[in-house]
Amino acid sequence: MSQLLAEKVALVFGVANRFSIAWAIAQALHRAGARLVLSYQGERVERSVRQLAASLPGTLTLPCEVGDDAQLDALFATLTREHGGLDCLVHAIAYAPTEALTGTYLATTREAFRTTLEVSVYSLVAILQRALPLFEARGGGSVVTLTYLGGERVVPNYNVMGVAKAALDMSVRYLAADLGPSGVRVNAISAGPISTASSRAIKGFLQFAQRVTEVAPLRRGTTAEEVADTAVLLASDLGRGITGEVIHVDSGYHILGVG
């Protein structure tokens, strides 16, 4: 890939292991010339993220629990000292309690709803509150988050996460309107089903993913690399006229009336 992001600074939230979509995006951004900063959540994934980062020379790794304002403040203080600005931010964070991803949405508890929406949606708002000055120092930039068709249509067992993705999609539009005057573009990628640790927690995921390969217009599934390439497009000047969009990278599955 050409150096579309040469000398750009890219901050990626959500890398947990080598199967993470966020990791595929980080690799693609690095190949395009970006200087990477990877956040990690807690000691449980620290070793994995640091090992991955070591394979991408020059990558900075920083701890951050997005539900902790002090940790968010510390991350952006370090980023300011190290790089002075920010050109690209990737938000690949989502979480719902396992018990909320089976059965019915009606059974969702108040606590599961609150946790899912706070981590999966509000985290983007909290991050961008702190990232905006760094984007403005660069004259603008690009924000990419990850969403899913379950925020537009009912997907079995997706439940409260589907509601969170719907809220995330709308947040993209409001944030695009808020940040546009500062030259910051905000978009979402709606990826087809990809096997990750998170997706496998959803009951029936493997069967659904197989069905997509059978009926999607391209007659195949989606790869993390396809999503990553789209993220590079959105982060680069090639995507300079795109903001407030939800771009589907799912072999066309989303256009079907009956799947």
Q: Would you list the DSSP string of 118-142?
A: IIIIIHHHHHHHHHHHHHHHTT-EE
Domains of the chain by residue range: 9-251
Of 101, 236, 242, 125, nearest to 175 (Cα)? 125
Based on the residue annotation, tell me whether 158 is a catalytic residue of this protein.
yes
Per-residue pLDDT band for 259 (boundaries 50, 70, 90) equals low
- What is the predicted pLDDT for the residue at 76? 98
Residue 30 has pLDDT above 90, yes or no: yes
Residue 197 has pLDDT above 70, yes or no: no
Per-residue pLDDT band for 256 (boundaries 50, 70, 90) equals very high
Among candidate residues 40, 148, 174, 253, the one labeled active-site is 148
Residue 214 has pLDDT above 80, yes or no: yes
Among candidate residues 40, 95, 158, 253, the one labeled active-site is 158
Whether domain 9-251 has CATH 3.20.20.450: no
Based on the residue annotation, tell me whether 148 is a catalytic residue of this protein.
yes
pLDDT tens for 127-163 read: 999 999 999 999 999 999 999 999 999 998 999 999 9
CB neighbour list of residue 232: distance below 8 Å, 6 or more residues apart: 1, 4, 5, 25, 28, 29, 32
CB neighbour list of residue 59: distance below 8 Å, 6 or more residues apart: 26, 30, 36, 37, 38, 53
- What is the predicted pLDDT for the residue at 143? 98
pLDDT tens for 77-133 read: 999 999 999 999 999 999 999 999 999 999 999 999 999 999 999 999 999 999 999
- What is the predicted pLDDT for the residue at 220? 94
Q: Report the distance separating Cα 208 and Cα 14, nearest Å.
A: 24
How many CA atoms lie less than 13 Å away from 248 in the CB half-sphere?
Answer: 17
